[in-house]
Amino acid sequence: MRAFSGLPSAVCLVTLEAAWDGVMRVEMEQLKHFVVNAGRSLGLSLAIFMVTTSGAMASLATPWQLGVQEPVSPVAVRIHEFHDYLLVLITIITLFVLGLMVYVCIRFRAARNPTPSRTTHNTLIEILWTVVPVIILVIVAVPAFKTLYYGDRTYEPDMTIKVTANQWYWTYEYPDQDIAFDSYMIPKEEIDPATQTYLLSVDNPLVVPVGKKIQILVTSNDVMHSFFVPSAVVQIYGMIGRINETWMQIDKEGTVFGQCNQICGLHHSAMPIAVKAVSPEAYATWLAEAKIKFAAAPAPIRVADGAVNE
For residues 203-227, average pLDDT: 95
**Is residue 60 situated within a structural domain?**
no
**Is residue 38 situated within a structural domain?**
yes
pLDDT, the chain, mean: 81
Q: Are residues 171 and 235 in the same domain?
A: yes
- What pLDDT does residue 155 have? 85
Q: Which position has the higher pLDDT, 108 or 300?
A: 108
Residue 288 pLDDT greater than 70, yes or no: yes
What are the pLDDT digits (tens) for 86-138? 999 999 999 999 999 999 999 888 888 888 888 788 889 899 999 999 999 99
Which amino acid appears at position 201 of this protein? S
**Is residue 61 situated within a structural domain?**
no
Q: Are residues 125 and 34 in the same domain?
A: no
- The helix or strand, by DSSP H or E, that contains position 85, with its residue range, turns out to be helix 74-107
Q: Are residues 283 and 193 in the same domain?
A: yes
For residues 11-16, average pLDDT: 43
Q: Are 216 and 236 in contact (CB under 8 A)?
A: yes
**Is residue 40 situated within a structural domain?**
yes
Residue 60 pLDDT greater than 50, yes or no: yes
User: Is the full-model pTM beyond 0.85?
Assistant: no
Torsion of CA 79, 84, 88, 91, to 10 degrees: 100
- What pLDDT does residue 302 have? 52
Q: Are residues 221 and 248 in the same domain?
A: yes
Question: What is the residue range of 225's domain?
Answer: 159-297
Number of structural domains found in the chain: 3
- What pLDDT does residue 114 have? 85
- What pLDDT does residue 112 have? 86
Residue 35 pLDDT greater than 90, yes or no: no
- What pLDDT does residue 68 have? 80
Q: Which position has the higher pLDDT, 52 or 10?
A: 10
Neighbours of 52 (CB within 10 A): 10
For residues 271-283, average pLDDT: 96
Q: Are residues 84 and 136 in the same domain?
A: yes
Q: Are residues 148 and 170 in the same domain?
A: no
**Is residue 307 situated within a structural domain?**
no
Q: Are residues 93 and 170 in the same domain?
A: no
The CATH number for 263's domain is 2.60.40.420
Residue 160 pLDDT greater than 90, yes or no: yes
Q: Are residues 172 and 237 in the same domain?
A: yes
* Cα–Cα distance, 287 to 21 (Å, whole number): 79
Q: Are residues 172 and 280 in the same domain?
A: yes
Lowest pLDDT segment from 6-10, 70-74, 153-157? 6-10
Residue 290 pLDDT greater than 60, yes or no: yes
- Cis peptide before 129, with omega less than 30 degrees from 0? no
- What pLDDT does residue 21 have? 55
> Degrees (nearest 5) of the Cα angle 34, 39, 42?
120
**Is residue 173 situated within a structural domain?**
yes
Q: Are residues 145 and 200 in the same domain?
A: no
* Cα–Cα distance, 300 to 310 (Å, whole number): 5
**Is residue 245 situated within a structural domain?**
yes
**Is residue 210 situated within a structural domain?**
yes
> Between the CA of residue 130 and those of 74, 89, 97, what are the distances in Å?
36, 18, 15
Q: Are residues 141 and 218 in the same domain?
A: no
Q: Facing residues of 246 across strands?
A: 216
- What pLDDT does residue 153 have? 82
The CATH number for 141's domain is 1.10.287
- What pLDDT does residue 62 have? 74
Q: Are residues 209 and 243 in the same domain?
A: yes
